[in-house]
Structure 1
Amino acid sequence: MNLVYLRLEILRIIRSPQFALFTIVVPVGMFLLFGGLFGDETGPGGLKASVTTMINMAAYGAMSGALFTGTRVATDRTDGWQRQLRLTPMRGPGYLAVKIASAMAMALPVVVIVYLTGALRGVQLDLAQWLLTAVALWLGALPFAVLGLLLGLFGKGDTVGAMTGALMLPLGVFGGLWMPLAFMPEWMSDVAHFTPTYWLGRLGTVALGPGGGLGPAVGVLAAWLVLPALVVLRRFRLDQGKVA
């Protein structure tokens, strides 16, 4: 992996105002809002709503940070940057690896920021729980990094941002991340089980003990990783063939 290019890619993402808005401001703001409204309530498994909301908003932020890589991929395609990279020693696998690594690099600090906000707002977990849930959410964001690549490879530089935002909204709402499912209509709980975001949030709560569910969460997220990855590889090869 080209570390110089990875550093450049991370700097490009950080400097985007859309990144700060959608991946940091929104999840932190939603946690402060819903955590304040439902924080004293107790949900399934005996978890306080403030804990569940913090984990869900951290999951939403990690998802958003990972998906955001698609905007850079689309810009690279539109501006001809992928063609220029073909003149360098970097090859296709290295390019994709940098994009995935940059997406994961953007997902981690969002989780940390939401968790810091939660700690300041009085959320109480022991050290092992803080670390395990944070790592679980970060690793669970990998399928969304691949989904971001998929959007970038099919979208254009001036439209992929809107496509990403249009995907983030239903994934957050119907995945049960914006509000605890215990306080939502029953039909939304049924829909949530078909979304990767629900299982990302579920992965975060597994470390806290209630209800188990590690196997299903890992299995569903693995499926959401493998299937889009196959499409990404196919699409990228077609793109490379067009500019050969």
Structure 2
Amino acid sequence: MWKKAKSKDAPVKDGRLLTNLSWEADQVLNANKERRFAWRLVFGLMVCVVALAGVIAFMLPLKKVVPTVVMVDKLTGENQVITLAQDYVKTSTLSDKHWVQRYVVAHERYVYRFVQWDYDTVRLMSEPKVWADYTPKFEGSESMDKRLKDDVEILPNILSITLTGNGLATVRYEVKTRDYRTTAPPVVSRRIATLRYEYKSRNLLLENEQEAIANPLGFTVTAYQTDPEMGGEAKGATP
């Protein structure tokens, strides 16, 4: 009997099969790699979106909408952006004391050459009710400036300013009253002023520039009272 010869194509077919299997395995591996890369990319994008949302949420409270007013000069036609004066100046304990002292001095002082200055200062820094309590002494034929003229000076000297919070201030001051019509020494007394104040936004469009410069923060006294200090009764003093 003769033996059947082995086919020479068998090894070739086996090799092709292995090659096909290897190619399919590579395709599956590449697909898995691409899938993992895609998921990593999606995860990275999600992290970026969450981080961006966090930044926006953090910065959102800092955003403030400020109305802008544009004023046109009637003569030149030039446009000027008007903003709140408070945008340029910050408040602090020291500035609070500065404005409190300035107000009390203007309210309590009488020096004939400074009457208009003090009058305008009190007007600019007072609410209507406080202003209404101040003005009577300068009204009518018996007003202080008509009676005293430049014959009498009343000079307050601030001794201490205490800020008690919530816009409240207590001011101890000494008042020296000198009457130049007599040879008597000046009379000195001590008083305590209590006032409530706040800062109101100013719109430069609603007032002239000089007033805005004089009170850029909008310092406003909403209540004012002054009383003699216990034990600080008036007494004579040598000049």
Q: What interval of TM-score do these two structures reach, taking the shorter chain for normalisation?
A: under 0.3
What is the TM-score normalised by the length of structure 1? Answer: 0.22
What is the TM-score normalised by the length of structure 2? Answer: 0.23
- Structure number with greater CO (CA < 8 Å, separation at least 6) is 1
